[in-house]
A and B are shown apart, each in its own frame.
Chain A
Amino acid sequence: MVFASDSYDLSALLGAVGEVAGNAAVIGCSTAGEIAAAGVSDLGVVVMVLGGADFQVATAAASVEPDGLRAAGAEVARAAETVADSPYRVLLVLSDGLSGDQEEIVRGAFSVVGAQVPLVGGCAGDDLRMERTSQLHGAEVLTGSVVAAAIGSQAPFGLGVQHGWRRVGEPMVVTASEDVRVLTLDDEPALDAYLRRLDAPAEAWTDAQAFTHFALTHPLGVSRRSSEEVRMIAEADFEERALVCIARVPQGGLAWIMEGDEESVLTATDMACNAALAALEGRPALGLFAFDCIARRSVLGVAGIQREVERIAAHAGGIPLGGFYTYGEIARDSAVGGFHNQTLVVLAVG
């Protein structure tokens, strides 16, 4: 598994990895920051290697055609059939968060594997430029694609999902939305309603970059049965006065503005790790994967993010830890929906 800043020549990087790893199956993606036991890196590379007789791995890649998100998700999920003999399975999915509604990828994958195989992973990053992300498969550098690794094991996997955000103020009704675009809130242009409610700084009203930075720490929350889901606001459409999110914000529902602080975010970190480890049914973990939302970096700041990764490493207790900062997280098992924003997803390998 390769998680690397796209400031590298990723093709060359994969070549180098291949030289070391030989015939090992490789998947990976570009990032917005990398996570390892040693701490957080920017413009770095993290490689996690999984091996041994107890593991079976199959990988797949699919290009995402327009309106083909679901098909692409289904296609890569078929890799799980190759490892069907293993008693425990997980499908690790890395996708292009800039290529439309990522929930559709999850739905496509789920339609193939059903409740039997948990889905986990994240959307590739591009160091917050929000322009183009890369997915890695074998020696190939892809974009607008989804790659996956089906991992079969003799031991269980554990999944932990937490965000640490909480609602602020009164809810707003999503009076008009089209997939990931929120057009109006309470019948008011969504961008204006959002900025006014938050008393946003002047530059966020006009400057795209300033808006994206501001919005990272002020996501939208939507209600789910057992929890609230957070929706990261990727950009503002200053012309249509709309908000563009990373995942669908359903029309007709209620949306809250969410807030978080270092304490709540770090508490969520502990909870996600604990949940993932607890799911191993008492067995020790061999390693941890962490898929952490880029927005949490914005809340925690440079020092805070180091503290967060230190905490994850502490939970790992010396075992390998690898992951990256994402543009959206994937985690689906019995208790959680599928695609997440502003969330930490932890996979413990038993």
Chain B
Amino acid sequence: MTLGAGAANWSTQQLTEMLALVSALPASADVVQRAVEHIVESLETDAGAAVSDAGVLASVGFPDGAIPYADLVAAAKGGLTELDVPGAGRCAVLVVPCDRLPGGRLLIARRQPEGFSSEERSLFRGFARVLALALQARSALQDERDLRTASEAEARHRQVLLDSMQERHALLERLSRIQRSISTRRPLHEVLESIVVGAAALIGDSVTALRMLDPDDPDLLLMVASHGLSPQMQERTRRSSVGQGVGGTAVTTSRLVVSHDYAASDNAVKVFAEDGVTACMAAPVFQGDGVVGSLTVASRVQGRTYSRSEQEVLLAFAEHTGLALNDARTVAALQEAVSEATRQARQDPLTGLPNRTRFLECLGESRANGREVSVLFIDLDDFKLVNDTLGHTIGDALLRLVADRLAGSVRGDDLVARLGGDEFAVLLVSTPPAQAELTAHRIAEALSQPFQLPGHQVSIGASTGVVLCSGDQAKLLSGDMEGHSAEELLRDADVAMYRAKALGKGRAVLFEPSMRIDLQARSRMERDLRKAMEQGQLVVHYQPIVDTRLGKVIGSEALLRWEHPELGLVPPEEFIPVAEDTGMIVGIGRQVLLDAACQTARWPGMSVSVNVSARQLADGLLIEHVREALQRTGIDPRNLTLELTETVLIDDIHAAAGILAELKVLGVRIAIDDFGTGYSSLSYLASLPVDVLKVDKKFVAGVERGGSEGRIAAAVVAIARSLHLTTITEGIETVQQLHAMQQLGCERFQGYFWSPAVPAAGFPGVCEALTLPAIALPRARSAAS
């Protein structure tokens, strides 16, 4: 896609020429008169004039002494659409505003019937903009002159003059570059880049974006070029609604939009605010008489404000951009580029599959047509492990293979889309429910087969949520204002997938309305949990850890409990995931660390284990929270053990290794919880600074029966021994289990056999009761834990 020679790009040249002209004029020149002359010559009109509240400022084309002042003022105000120009007869009049003159208007007149083309209208507006820019610079100079009283003011004056000249020179240079890139047939992306880079350089800001209206959807803007945005940000902000944000508002209002305190402004877009944007302004881009897009500049510098001069420069630059893009061949290339951007905006670039937007569009269309639809929401199991251990290149290759297999598992009429990350969706149209379920199983089967990747064979699986929606339902539901939109259907499928995942990997689960209720219950729980945090309903209980060789309690595991005023004790497996998902776990985790360290400080010789979640590990505050707990309570760091599950570690093994290393510097101990239930990779175990392996209770339960679980327990203990790690066996409930594990060489245990987790106040009493004989002998088992 390249652009043609600049032959058609006459307007751009004219505007650049005018800018060069007004930039080169000496301060004494009558810039308004010269501008009007240039406009009249350039557009080959019969007459032209500049009019303000003060009257006619300049006119061209009328004989000296016969300038029709009253008619010019009337025409400028819109009162006359035609003017008599001596020698030219009746002339059509075109008027544009010129901001820098109070009540300022420029007008041109051309003999009938020729009139004005839309390109000429655009150019005329551009001329007015350039004149405003020149007047702005001059008014700054004048202000300076008025203030001038002393010699240092003289120097300042020269500086202002220099600055304004440099400013205009810089603008001119940037415009020339754009022109050159068009005239020398540069590819469109280079032209667009010269625009966004040029705007950034002119205004001195780090971020610029050029957005154009989507030809297929006039309510959408597509970002066709940007500067200073990460690829992720580009992807996230590629499409936006007209009217959304500063750039979108410039399109709807056809005016410059300036936002100085961006985050607090009504126009702020969350992702940009989060990206550090502090100030932002956008100018409309015109083609012909209409707005076709916007040019936005943004800053990440605190306290950034845009001067009047900078605003004028952006407006002039945007005006020029519109003209540059108006070039016939540029328009063609641009339309192609916008179509490409549209296509991209509906297509996942990695797999070539339709993306979420396209999927939702198709789903919406099918439902609107009353078709029977089924939606499959597919989430890959263990994809992150592949990505983290084998690298992103392999991960990407795997996603492409998954896309191929999915496409091969459905009919030609069905739609496979990638929603993002490792999530895919399938839309089955006019497929009976039974057939849809079969397809879900076929997909599960296809994805469970090993994938052959360069140098690796990888096995993953997928969890699938399925939503069925009959045609009648679709009709019914499409009118349902409470929302069973395409988004709602996809969300239901997501909920079902979530349930499938919870039930174990590789499953497909059919959505049921009760799941949505579960979702509501979940959001209610979230609300309650926040209240619980505020009202101190979350408490820490302590389960003793005993050493049978020493015959005493050596420490405890701190376990979180929620004492709900109405529901009683809420099981951790119900509320911990909610706390994880919402991020509340970070604050809760900090409190648990503090409480546990504080209590342990009161129990001499005792150690304490505290569970750390994935969210805490990823949050970046964990090390600070641990340091805080140690400092506040003064406990020996060796008496604090942090327990992490292997799943948590595996999620991002490199990041985890770094954090664990820092924790080790603080002197705390690290335990791996539930070892043997996940990947149980020896290599990572050996590479991490781990002190303790905990043997999961699910192996303990099998150890007395023998069989595979017992053998795993034996293997875990053997691994721990070979790596010189301490083992702690969880979930001992019977003396048989205890003896079996003791025979494997284990010495440290916890479980109901001795005591459930108890409130802090009861813990010393429990320890006292668990003297040597009590450790050896089973206690009465408690039903409550």
- What residues of chain A have their CB less than 8 Å away from a CB belonging to chain B? 74, 78, 107, 110-117, 170-171, 173, 175, 177-178, 186, 223-226, 250-254, 334-338
A-B contact pairs, 8 of them (CB 8 A): A74-B64, A110-B61, A114-B85, A116-B87, A117-B63, A171-B6, A173-B179, A250-B17
Whether B17 pairs with A115 at a CB distance below 8 angstroms is no
Q: Report the bound CA distance from A73 to B24 in whole Å.
A: 22
With A110-B60, A173-B179, A224-B44 as known contacts, state yes or no: A250 contacts B66, CB within 8 Å.
no
Which residue of the partner chain, among B37, B46, B85, B183, contacts A254 with CB atoms under 8 Å?
A: B183
With A170-B184, A334-B111 as known contacts, state yes or no: A115 contacts B44, CB within 8 Å.
no
Residues of A within 8 A of B620 (CB): none
Chain B residues with a Cβ closer than 8 Å to the other chain, count? 38
Q: Report the bound CA distance from A336 to B44 in whole Å.
A: 7
Q: Report the bound CA distance from A334 to B183 in whole Å.
A: 30
Q: Report the bound CA distance from A92 to B175 in whole Å.
A: 39
Whether B172 pairs with A223 at a CB distance below 8 angstroms is no
Which residue of the partner chain, among B20, B60, B63, B85, contacts A251 with CB atoms under 8 Å?
A: B20
B655 at interface, CB cutoff 8 A:
no
Whether B87 pairs with A114 at a CB distance below 8 angstroms is yes
- B133–chain A nearest beta-carbon distance, Å: 14
Residues of B within 8 A of A186 (CB): 180, 184
With A115-B61, A116-B63 as known contacts, state yes or no: A252 contacts B176, CB within 8 Å.
yes
Q: Report the bound CA distance from A117 to B7 in whole Å.
A: 32
Which residue of the partner chain, among A107, A114, A253, A254, contacts B66 with CB atoms under 8 Å?
A: A114
B62 at interface, CB cutoff 8 A:
yes
B485 at interface, CB cutoff 8 A:
no
> Ordered nearest first, which 7 A-B pairs have the shortest CB separation?
A252-B16, A116-B87, A250-B17, A251-B20, A115-B87, A114-B63, A116-B86
Residues of A within 8 A of B472 (CB): none
Mask: chain B, 173-188; 1 = CB below 8 Å from A; 0 = not: 0011001100110000
B462 at interface, CB cutoff 8 A:
no
Tell me which of A112, A115, A175 has the highest count of chain B C-beta atoms within 10 A of its own C-beta.
A115
With A170-B184, A334-B88 as known contacts, state yes or no: A254 contacts B61, CB within 8 Å.
no
Whether A252 pairs with B64 at a CB distance below 8 angstroms is no
Whether B46 pairs with A334 at a CB distance below 8 angstroms is yes
Whether A115 pairs with B46 at a CB distance below 8 angstroms is yes
Which residue of the partner chain, among B16, B43, B85, contacts A253 with CB atoms under 8 Å?
A: B16
Q: Report the bound CA distance from A226 to B42 in whole Å.
A: 10
| Residue on A nearest B181 in the bound complex, by CB | A173
- B359–chain A nearest beta-carbon distance, Å: 47
B458 at interface, CB cutoff 8 A:
no
Residues of B within 8 A of A251 (CB): 16-17, 20, 24, 172, 176
Q: Report the bound CA distance from A173 to B37 in whole Å.
A: 23
Residues of B within 8 A of A254 (CB): 6, 9, 13, 179, 183
Whether B64 pairs with A112 at a CB distance below 8 angstroms is yes
Q: Report the bound CA distance from A166 to B37 in whole Å.
A: 27
| Residue on B nearest A84 in the bound complex, by CB | B63
With A250-B21, A252-B19, A253-B13 as known contacts, state yes or no: A335 contacts B44, CB within 8 Å.
yes
Whether A170 pairs with B5 at a CB distance below 8 angstroms is yes
| Residue on B nearest A248 in the bound complex, by CB | B21
With A110-B60, A114-B64, A115-B61 as known contacts, state yes or no: A173 contacts B86, CB within 8 Å.
no
Residues of A within 8 A of B64 (CB): 74, 78, 111-114
- Those of B1-47 within 8 Å (CB) of chain A: 5-7, 9-10, 13-14, 16-17, 19-21, 24, 37, 41-44, 46-47
- What residues of chain B have their CB less than 8 Å away from a CB belonging to chain A? 5-7, 9-10, 13-14, 16-17, 19-21, 24, 37, 41-44, 46-47, 60-64, 66, 85-88, 111, 172, 175-176, 179-180, 183-184
Residues of A within 8 A of B46 (CB): 115, 334
Tell me which of B42, B64, B172 has the highest count of chain A C-beta atoms within 10 A of its own C-beta.
B64
Q: Report the bound CA distance from A224 to B61 in whole Å.
A: 18
Q: Report the bound CA distance from A334 to B13 in whole Å.
A: 22
Whether B10 pairs with A226 at a CB distance below 8 angstroms is no
- B746–chain A nearest beta-carbon distance, Å: 80
Q: Report the bound CA distance from A221 to B20 in whole Å.
A: 18
- B171–chain A nearest beta-carbon distance, Å: 10
Q: Report the bound CA distance from A178 to B37 in whole Å.
A: 18
Q: Report the bound CA distance from A18 to B665 in whole Å.
A: 112
Whether A225 pairs with B10 at a CB distance below 8 angstroms is yes
- A92–chain B nearest beta-carbon distance, Å: 16
With A115-B47, A251-B172, A337-B44 as known contacts, state yes or no: A173 contacts B183, CB within 8 Å.
yes
With A111-B60, A226-B44 as known contacts, state yes or no: A252 contacts B86, CB within 8 Å.
no
Having A175-B180, A186-B184, A252-B176, one finds 6 other A-B pairs with CB under 8 Å, namely: A111-B64, A114-B63, A173-B176, A250-B20, A253-B14, A336-B44
Tell me which of A177, A253, A335 has the highest count of chain B C-beta atoms within 10 A of its own C-beta.
A253
- B375–chain A nearest beta-carbon distance, Å: 55
Q: Report the bound CA distance from A114 to B63 in whole Å.
A: 4
Whether B43 pairs with A225 at a CB distance below 8 angstroms is yes
Whether B47 pairs with A252 at a CB distance below 8 angstroms is no
- B35–chain A nearest beta-carbon distance, Å: 13
Whether B86 pairs with A114 at a CB distance below 8 angstroms is yes
Q: Report the bound CA distance from A302 to B7 in whole Å.
A: 34
- B90–chain A nearest beta-carbon distance, Å: 13
Q: Report the bound CA distance from A110 to B42 in whole Å.
A: 15
Tell me which of A114, A226, A336 has the highest count of chain B C-beta atoms within 10 A of its own C-beta.
A114
- A128–chain B nearest beta-carbon distance, Å: 29
Residues of A within 8 A of B87 (CB): 114-117, 334
Whether A171 pairs with B20 at a CB distance below 8 angstroms is no
Q: Report the bound CA distance from A336 to B40 in whole Å.
A: 11
- B130–chain A nearest beta-carbon distance, Å: 11
- A185–chain B nearest beta-carbon distance, Å: 11
| Residue on A nearest B88 in the bound complex, by CB | A115
Residues of A within 8 A of B20 (CB): 177, 250-252
| Residue on B nearest A103 in the bound complex, by CB | B41
- B320–chain A nearest beta-carbon distance, Å: 10
Residues of B within 8 A of A117 (CB): 63, 87
Whether A114 pairs with B180 at a CB distance below 8 angstroms is no
Residues of A within 8 A of B6 (CB): 171, 254
- A166–chain B nearest beta-carbon distance, Å: 12
| Residue on A nearest B10 in the bound complex, by CB | A223
Whether A114 pairs with B47 at a CB distance below 8 angstroms is yes
Whether A225 pairs with B42 at a CB distance below 8 angstroms is yes
- A188–chain B nearest beta-carbon distance, Å: 12
Q: Report the bound CA distance from A178 to B23 in whole Å.
A: 11
Tell me which of B17, B24, B184 has the highest count of chain A C-beta atoms within 10 A of its own C-beta.
B17
Whether A178 pairs with B24 at a CB distance below 8 angstroms is yes
Whether B61 pairs with A114 at a CB distance below 8 angstroms is yes
Tell me which of A78, A113, A334 has the highest count of chain B C-beta atoms within 10 A of its own C-beta.
A334
Q: Report the bound CA distance from A116 to B63 in whole Å.
A: 7
Residues of A within 8 A of B13 (CB): 223, 252-254
Residues of A within 8 A of B111 (CB): 334
Which residue of the partner chain, among B21, B41, B175, B180, contacts A337 with CB atoms under 8 Å?
A: B41
Whether A338 pairs with B41 at a CB distance below 8 angstroms is yes
Residues of A within 8 A of B41 (CB): 337-338
Q: Report the bound CA distance from A254 to B181 in whole Å.
A: 12
| Residue on A nearest B62 in the bound complex, by CB | A114
Tell me which of B6, B9, B63, B88 has the highest count of chain A C-beta atoms within 10 A of its own C-beta.
B63
- A267–chain B nearest beta-carbon distance, Å: 21
- A296–chain B nearest beta-carbon distance, Å: 24
Residues of B within 8 A of A113 (CB): 63-64
Q: Report the bound CA distance from A334 to B46 in whole Å.
A: 6
Whether B5 pairs with A252 at a CB distance below 8 angstroms is no
Residues of B within 8 A of A337 (CB): 41, 44
Residues of B within 8 A of A178 (CB): 24
Which residue of the partner chain, among B7, B16, B47, B63, contacts A171 with CB atoms under 8 Å?
A: B7
Whether B37 pairs with A107 at a CB distance below 8 angstroms is yes
| Residue on B nearest A167 in the bound complex, by CB | B7
Residues of A within 8 A of B19 (CB): 252
Whether B61 pairs with A171 at a CB distance below 8 angstroms is no
Residues of B within 8 A of A250 (CB): 17, 20-21
| Residue on A nearest B43 in the bound complex, by CB | A225
